[in-house]
Structure 1
Amino acid sequence: MEAGIDVPLDDRSGEQGVAVDRRDLSMLPKAHLHLHFTGSMSHRTLLQVAEACGEPVDAVAGAPAFATDATTARGWARFQRRYDLARRVVRSEAAMRTIVRCAAVDEAAEGSRRLEIQVDPTSYAPWVGGLQAALEIVLDEARAASRDTGVQIGVIVAASRMRHPLDARTLARLASRYAGQGPGEVVAFGLNADEHHGDTTRFEGAFRIADRAGLPSVPHGGELRGPEHIRTVLDYLHPTRLGHGVRAAEDPVLLDLLVERSVALEVCPVSNVQLGVYCTTGDVPLRTLVDAGAQVALGADDPLLFGARLVDQYRVARDVLGFTDAELAGLARASLRASTAPEADKQRWLAEVDDWLAAPASRELLAS
C-alpha cells in the first residue's frame, strides 16, 4: 500500500489471521472519470519527463519522495505549489504525449475500460504553439494510446477558477470544435481549481457554449466548500457529473436532489484526506452517498501528489469502509454508466462486471 493511504487492520485480537474471499480489484472492469493531466503521472513518469527537459529532479519534486510523503501535504496551497512544480516540466509535445501514453498504460493495468482525462491546455500552450495545438496533441495521443492499450480515452477540457471567466469561454469554444464520444475526442467540459476562488456564477456563459455543442457539464464542487456551493453549481452550471461532490452527504435534502437529477459524483477518498477535508479515509461518507442512491464513480484525482491510483480507491472502499465485492461491482457499474462512452460500449463493459462478480473469489489470509 502506498504511503498516505490508511492501512486497514483487522480488529479481531488474538487471531493469527482471518481468511476471506476476495476478487482481484485490478481485474474489475471500471471507468476512471476523475483524473487530471499532470497529476496523472507516476513518480517514475515525472522523472522521465523532467530528465527529457533537463530539469533537475529536486527542483521539480523537492525530494525524491514527492509522491510518498503526502501525509504532510494537506491543504490546497501546498498541493497547488507541488502541482505547479510538476507542471513546469511539461513543456514539449513529447512530454505531453508521454503523460497520455503512461496514463493509458497505468489504467489498462488497473482494469479501466474507459478513461476521461481532464486537461486545461492553457498551461501547455506556450510550449507547443498555442491552445489548439496543445489540445490536438492530447487528442491525437489519446487516439493512439486507446488503440494500443485497449483503454478508451476521452478528453475533458477544463477551465480554471483562477483565471477570468472569458478565458473559460475561449476554452469552451475550442472544446466544442472537437466534441464527440469516442477516443481522442472532447467528451465534456469542466471547471477546476480551488473552490474558494472565482465566482462560479460568472462561468455560466462558458458552460452554455459547451452545452450547445452537446458537451456534458462536469465541474468540480462540493469538496473544499460544502452544500451551499454545490447548490450554486447546480443552479448555474447544470452538471451531469460533479467532480467530488462528497460534501453533499452533509445535506440530505441536497443529496436527494442530486439523486433525483441523476447527477453522478466523482468521489476521490484518498485526495479528500490529503487535502484535509476528512481526517481519515474512514471518515469519507461514501457509504452515506451510496445508501442514498447516488451514482458514485471513484477517482484518483492526482496520483502523483496523493500517492494512490484508482484501484487504491477501491481498496479503501473495501478494506476501510467495508464494501463487499458485490457493492464494489456496483461502484464500477456506476462509473461506467456515468461515463460519456457510447451506450453499446457501456453495455459490453457492464456485462464484463457481471462476469467478474460471477467468477470464484480467491481465498486470502488477512493479518490480525
Structure 2
Amino acid sequence: MATDRHATAWRPTFATRSRPGAEAASAAVGAPREGRGAGAAGGPGGIPGGPGAASGARATAAPGGRAAPGPDAASPGAEATWASLLESLAPALAERLRRVPPQVHRQVDEVRVVAGSPVWLLLAGGEGFVDAAGRLVPVPGQAPAVTPAEVAECLERMTASSWYAVQEQARQGFLTLPGGHRVGLAGEVQVEGGRVERFRRVRGLVIRRARPVSGCATPLLPYLVEPARPGPCLASTLLIGAPASGKTTLLRDLARLASAGVPGTLAGRRVAVVDERGELAAGGAFDLGPRTAVLEHCPKEAGIPLALRALSPEVLVTDELGGPHDAAAVAEAVHAGVTVVATAHAGSVADLEARRQLRALEATGAFRRLVQLTRHPRPGTVEAVYARGPGGRWIALTSGGRG
C-alpha cells in the first residue's frame, strides 16, 4: 500500500503550543457534537479571549492529542457519498474502486481519472494508484492505465448522455454531480475572444469528493461567536485556504450550526445559502439546518440580492468568493445587517491581499473573522484564526499563521 496514514477520519485540527500562562485550545480537536463540544476550545458563550479560550495557540497538528472523538468515517453518510461517486464512473473503473478496502476509501478526498494514467486517489493523509485488485500502490507502472474510452464513458454517465445540457457549467471547467461531488475537466479547450467556448476533448477528470462531516466546525465556535440579541451569533467570517484544504466542508457545517444553534453557545438563526455550484446542499443531500433556505445553481451576484429580498436571512452563506461583483454583493448583505460566512481561495492574508478581486472584498471591511486553513497534515487543519482590529488590521487569535 502506498500509505499507512489513512486511518484517521477527516476532521479539523487544533493542536497547540501554549504560551506561558495561556490556556490551550483543544489539542488535535476532532469534531465534538453539539452540546458537549463548545467547551472543548473556549469559554462560556464561546467569545474569543473569554474564560477558557486560547489566546496564544499555534493551530497545527498535535501528535497524540486527546479530544472528543471526531465524526465517524464509517458512518452511513461516508458510505453513501462513496457509492454515489462510483455511480458516475465507467463500470470497469467503478468495479476496481469497489475493491478498495473500506478503511481506505472512507478517507478518499479526490479521485483522478486521466487517460493513459492509472486511477489515482488522494487521501486525508496520503495517496496512491489503484491496481487491478483495488490496492493502493506507489508506482504508476504497477496499476492499469485508464483508456480514453473509459474517460468518455465516465463523461456519458456524468452528463446523462447530454453534454449540451451541461455546457454552461463546463465552460467554467467543472461539473457538479448528484451528491455534490465536483468534477474538474482537463483536456483541449476552445477559446474565443478570451473566453472558454467549449471543451473539444476531455482527457481527464479530477473528482473532488463531497461528504458531510457533522460537527466538524464546532471547535471553531469559540473564535467565531459574538454576543448578540436574541442570542449569540456567528461573526461575519471568511474561510481561506488553498484548494482541497477543507473550506467547503467546514462552511457546510457552519451553515448547519448557524441554523440549528448550539445550546448555551449559539442561537439558531434564519440562514440563506447561495449555492452557485450545487455543492453545499447537493440538492438536499446534505443537512444544512432546520432554518435554512437554499438557492442552488444561482450566480452569487444575482443570488445574494435575491436572498436578501426574498428569504429574510439573518445569516448568508456562500462559497468561493472572488468574482468581479462579489465584493459589492457581500457589502450589500452586511450593510443590511446580515452576517456573511463564505470561503475564498487564498493561502494566507498576504495571498488574500495580493488578488485584486479579493483585495476589493477585503477593503469592504465586511468580515470580522478570518480562518486560515491548510491540508497539512490533513484537510481541515486550522493554521490561524484572526479578528479584525483597530484600523481594519487582522489580529491573530491563534499564533502561527502565515499572514
Q: TM-score, normalised by structure 2?
A: 0.33
By relative contact order (CA 8 Å, sep 6+), the higher-ranking structure is: 1
Specify which structure has the higher proportion of helix.
1
Q: Which has the higher strand share?
A: 2
Q: Kindly name which structure, 1 or 2, has the bigger radius of gyration based on alpha carbons.
A: 2
